[in-house]
Structures are given as structure tokens and as C-alpha cells.
Amino acid sequence: MGNVLVLAEVAEGKLRKTTHSAVTFARDAAAQLGGTYDILVIGAGVDGPAAEAAKLGAQKVLVADDASLENYLAETYAPTVAEVGKGYQVVVGTASPFGKDLLARVAGKLDAGYASDIVSLLPQENGKLTYKRPIYAGNAFVICQLESPVEIVSVRQSAFDPAAEGDGAAATEKVAVVGPSSALDRVSWVTFNSVKSERPELTEADVVIAGGRALKEQFYDILNPLADEFSAAIGASRAACDAGYCAPDLQIGQTGKIVAPGLYIAVGISGAIQHLAGMKSSKVIVAINKDEEAPIYQITDYGLVADLFKAVPEFTDKVKAARA
Amino acid sequence: MKILVPLKRVADPDNANKVKVPADGSKVDTAGLEWKANPFDEYALETALRLTEDGKAQKKRLGEIVVVTFGPKDTEATLRAALATGADRAIRVETDDDHIDGIIVAKALAKIVAEEKPDLVMLGKQQVDGDTNQVGQILAELLDWPMATFAGTVQEEDGGLLVGREVDGGQLDVRVKLPALVTVDLRVVNPTSVYSKVTDKSKFKYAEGVRFAPLPAIMKARKKPLAVKNLGDLVEDTALRVKYLRYEAPPERAAGVRVPDVDALVDKLKNEAKVL
């Protein structure tokens, strides 16, 4: 028997949806191990997120709440996560920037094996949890196991359906906050320059509209009306982010956001393999591009070769009419 | 400032769609692909170079850069290329990919840091072959050093760095005092992303991307020092924590149809895909 600990992610006083995907993994892993799963909510003033976490079917919700944890730094969070985590067989979080930053540091603290960004939990082999994770920008998968008393795992959010809230509420329990590592003396949180958006999160949206460098300064002028029509999230190619047409955290690809929405519309994106790695699990893929040789057409369900500055506004109007 | 830059060679990522997995799943076949430095590590090297120079007088070095790699003898080509772009010394740790994982690499690097005593370790946020994104964080923990991962901007200050981290929802600025560890993201090689203390950022912009070595520098790099170490001398416990059992090819995604115009596209989405 072994138990699983989920590392919850909190932002702006709420539980992030990333957490729900890690919970789905934890539920499956605990079932395989004949154990249970708990959720660790860590931060300052996190009663609200803890109450949200309590609805996700865990045995217990553990709360590490301290004013010193207000602004996230791995140097302050990792000692507590490691201390709580070492009582579990598996510690899991989601491969968001938060999870990727923190979980690897926790793995270092526990001298533990770390399987990052996994896309599925396979049936056990030789009595051990067995994970599948993408390598080479998703052009191959590796099946792996971890050989350490505590196993550290991060899940790819788009590959695990979010756990639904249930009726019951798990008991919450305060856990002691472990003092920061001495490295904290040499690091300080300065400021968070937040890019506000009213749109859904890229990794959670049912529809994603993604733009490339071809949109130039008209990136949002062209994409906003279409995204409004679908209540879609807006994403981008690396080239569009590098050129400054949109914020860096909109980048979809191997090392950016990984998305798998029901509908993905690529506008003026040629389709470098690094971009495809971030979106090729989408259910329906549409591309609108002037270049008929663009590699993106190798994976699109519906490709339209056209001048996007004309085709996208026309498409937006006609989608609106078709849905009226 | 003395900077240690770990580099990994990878099969050319722009040819990753030519990576093959044989039916028995025994390996990833990269035959025929060129080796090159992991792009994120090249960005780390470029960042280190910018931090150890005056942008306007790049030939005068203001610090030292030591590059390290893990692998068989032919990985020395990757180190020589780094020396040609401006790194000062190189270390190769003799090993092969099948016998190391993130923790082992981090432990070996921790030992090298103890010997070399750099002010800063600067590396890519992830390798584009294994895609694990962990060595930097584990190393920082083993050293008990502060870290700033996924750096998009790095500005040298007195005794430290101001680093802009690319995270969900925006940019998080953190300040680290040296010694520290930084892992870099893509946009760190933009023209105004990295400045040393002596480079006047109001008057100077870098060229986009990483620098290339001129021929004389490539010749000179052949004579720069390159030391070889054995993994076993650096790390006692070389048991793998992450065990790779086998490999799988991804499911094929067939190309769909071309539609002639917007009307046909809307029709397909409404009546065939049923997503409108």
C-alpha cells in the first residue's frame, strides 16, 4: 500500500485548475497502490483554496499557511513540500511553471527520481508505477519507472482530465511550515508584472485561436473578434512572441504551453516541430495560411490557403452567422 | 564573474520529426541526425558571454566561463564550439546517456562547482531531447544556492542579478545574490534581455540570437584547455533513479483536407466536425 500527495497550485487566492489534473493522476495512482491521496495547499491565507481542494475526493487536505509563504519562491516552499512529501510514495503536481520550478527542487532535496510532464499512468509493471512521458518534442515517448522511496511526478495538464468536485468535504489539517533553506538569504521576490487577460486560460480552453508572426502588429485586431465568437483562449507561435506582438506566456509549443482543445485554429502559423509539439493532440485542427507548403498542413483536419487578413474577418462573420 | 555553463549535445532538434522508434521499442534511433548543442544551453552560453563583457567592446573579457559536458570523446566537438564563441575552458565528464539521469548529472555538477567555485551556474531550462527540465533545480538544491529558473531577462547588479522569470500570467522579477544558479528561457537572447554591469543599456543593443564564432576563433579554440574527468570520481552513487524501460512512437496524425474557401471551411466545421 502506498499513498499519494498532490501539490496544489494557488494563484490570486484561488485553487488553480492545474491542481485538478494532478488530482486525477493521484486518484488513479492511489487506486493502483491500494492507498489514498491527500492534497497539500501551501501559501499565505489559503483557507479559500483549501476549502476548494477539500471537494476533490482526497482523504485529507493538508494546509501549510504562513505569512512567509505569501510570494512564491522555491527556496521557501521546497522545504515544507519535501518534509510533508517524504511520508508518501508519490508526490505529484502539474507541469506548469510553478510545478516545474518547485517539484524538481523537492526531488533534489529528497534525492528522489523525478518523472516530469507525464502524459499517462500505465498499468503497473513488476509491481511498480509505470509512467509514459514525451521526449524529442513529442516525437517519441519513453516508458519509465522511478527507483527511490519517494517518487516525484509532474503531469501534463492537457493529458489528464480535471477532477470534478464532489459533494463531500475532506477534513483539513494544519501542517507545520519548515523554515526556508539558507539559500533564501540570497534571493528575494521583487515584483510580478502580471499580464491581465479576460480570456480563458490557454491550457483549459475548449477552443484555442493561435497566431503567428504573419499577423504583425494586427495580431489582436485580427484574432480578438474570432476569439470572442468562440470564447476562446488566444495563443501564439514562438516567432510572434519573440517579435513582441503578444506576451511570452502565450507561446504554444514544446517548451511553452501544451494545449489539447476541442478546436485549434492556427492563423498564419507555419508549424515548426516545436510548435506542433504543443498542439498536435488537439481534437480538430484548422489552419489558415498563405503558404500552401506550410508544414502545419501535415497535421490539420481542415486547411485553408488564403490571405489571413481577408479570410479571418470573413471566417469570423460566417461563423457568427452559422451559429446564430 | 566566473560562470559555469553546463552544455548537452542533442540530436538536431529541427530534425526531431525524423527521430524513429524501432518496433521493439528498444531505443530512439537518431541515426543520420547531426549533433548540436542543446539550444537552451547555447542561450545560456550567450547569456554568460554577455554578462562577462562590455557589450560595446566584446573582445575584452571581464570574467571567466567554464563549459562542461557529459558524454563520450566525440562530445568534445560541442565543447570546442563553445570555446570558439568565447568560453575560456572546458571540462568533459566521461559517460554515456544510458547511464545518467538528472540527479546523477546534478550531483556531478555539484562536485565540479565545489572544485571550480564559480559565482554563477547558468544553463538551459530544459534539454530538447529528454525534455525533463530538472537538472538546474536539483543542482541548486544540492548546493543550497538560490535559483532563478526560466529567465527571460538578466541584468547584472552589484553582487548579484535581477532576473525576469517567464511564468504563467506574466513576468516574475527576482533578485539573486551570488553565488546563484540561473536557467534560461528562449527570450533571453533578445537584443535587450541581458546586460553586464558595464554595458550601457541605454545605448547598446545586442544582435538577435546567439553569436557565431569567426574562423580565427575556431582555430584558437583548439588550443584552449579541455580537461577530462570520470563520472565515478565525481559521484559515488551512480544508480539510476529514473529507469527507462522502453520507447514508443507517437500515434500518427493523418493530414486532412484542403478547403477551397471560407464557406467550405465553415460548412465542414458545422456539418462534419460539428464544432460550431
Residue B12 binned pLDDT confidence (cut-offs 50, 70, 90) = confident
Give me the pLDDT at residue A87, please.
96
Res A256 pLDDT > 90: yes
Closest partner residue to B265 among A96, A286, A292, by Cβ? A286
Q: What distances in angstroms separate CA B216 from CA B53, B85, B276, one per listed residue?
A: 19, 11, 60
pLDDT for A99-152, tens place per residue? 999 999 999 999 999 999 999 999 999 999 999 999 998 989 999 999 999 999
Kindly list the distances between the CA atom of residue A24 and the CA atoms of A17, A19, A169, A314, in Å, as whole numbers in the listed order: 12, 9, 17, 41
pLDDT surpasses 90 at A309: yes
A286 at the B interface (CB within 8 A)?
yes
Q: How far is CA B43 from CA A102, B168, B186, in A?
A: 22, 21, 7
Which burial class, exposed, middle or buried, applies to A301 when counting CB atoms under 10 A from its CB (0-12, 13-18, 19+)? Answer: buried
- Given a cut of 80, is residue A248 above it in pLDDT? yes
Q: Give me the residues of B, 124-143, that contact A with CB < 8 A.
A: 125-126, 128-134, 136-142
Instruction: Name the residue type at position B266.
Output: V
pLDDT class of B14 with cuts at 50, 70, 90:
confident
Cα B64 to Cα A2, A311, B49, B160: the distances in Å are: 49, 53, 9, 16
Q: Which residue of A has its CA nearest to B110?
A: A108
Query: Up-side HSE of residue A103: CA atoms within 13 Å toward CB?
Result: 31
Rounded CA gap, A201 and A211, in Å? 16
Look at B167 and A262 and tell me if their CB atoms are within 8 Å. Answer: no
- Which triple of cell numbers denotes residue A51? 476549502
- Is A301 within 8 Å of A286 (Cβ atoms)? yes
A119/B contact by beta carbon, under 8 A: no
Chain A residues in contact with B106 (beta carbon < 8 A)? 108
Would you state the cell numbers that stand for residue B32, as one nine-digit string? Answer: 543520420
Question: Are B222 and B82 in contact, with CB atoms under 8 Å apart?
Answer: no
Residue A324: per-residue pLDDT: 85
User: What is the percent of chain A where pLDDT is above 90?
Assistant: 94
Is residue B15 over pLDDT 80? no
Q: What is the pLDDT of residues B87-130, one digit of tens each?
A: 999 999 999 888 899 999 999 999 999 999 999 999 999 999 99
Residues A146-203 pLDDT 10s: 999 999 999 999 999 999 999 889 999 999 999 988 899 999 999 999 988 889 999 9
The model's pLDDT over B19-61, given as tens digits with 9 standing for 90+, comes to 899 999 999 998 888 899 999 999 999 999 999 999 999 989 9
Residue A223 Cα distances to A6, A218, B241, angstroms = 37, 8, 46
Is the pLDDT at A36 greater than 70, yes or no?
yes
Per-residue confidence band for B255, with pLDDT thresholds at 50, 70 and 90: confident
* DSSP code string of A83-105: HHHTTSSEEEEE-SHHHHHHHHH
- How far apart CA B142 and CA A3 sit, in angstroms, is 26
What is the DSSP-derived secondary structure letter of residue B49? H
Which residues of chain A from 15 to 34 reach within 8 Å of chain B, CB to CB? none
* Cβ–Cβ gap A191/B103 under 8 Å: no
**Nearest of A132, A138, A95 to residue A257 by alpha carbon:** A95
Q: Is the dihedral of CA A194, B42, B231, B75 positive or negative?
A: positive
Helix, strand, coil percentages, rounded to 5, for chain B: 30, 30, 40
Other CB atoms within a 10 A radius of the CB of residue A122 amount to: 15
**Confidence class for position A80, pLDDT limits 50, 70, 90:** very high
Higher pLDDT, A77 or B252: A77
Grid cell, residue A124, equals: 503497473
pLDDT band at B16 (very low <50, low <70, confident <90, very high): low
Provide the grid cell at A101.
Answer: 520550478
User: Rounded to whole angstroms, what are the CA distances from A49 to A24, A45, A52, A61, A277?
Assistant: 17, 9, 5, 10, 32
B35 neighbors B78 (Cβ within 8 angstroms) = yes
pTM: 0.95
A167 to chain B nearest CA, in Å? 30
**Closest residue in A to B100 (Cα–Cα):** A113
What phi, psi does A271 have (nearest 5°)?
Answer: 100, 55
DSSP class of residue A251? Answer: B
Check whether B17 has a pLDDT greater than 70.
no
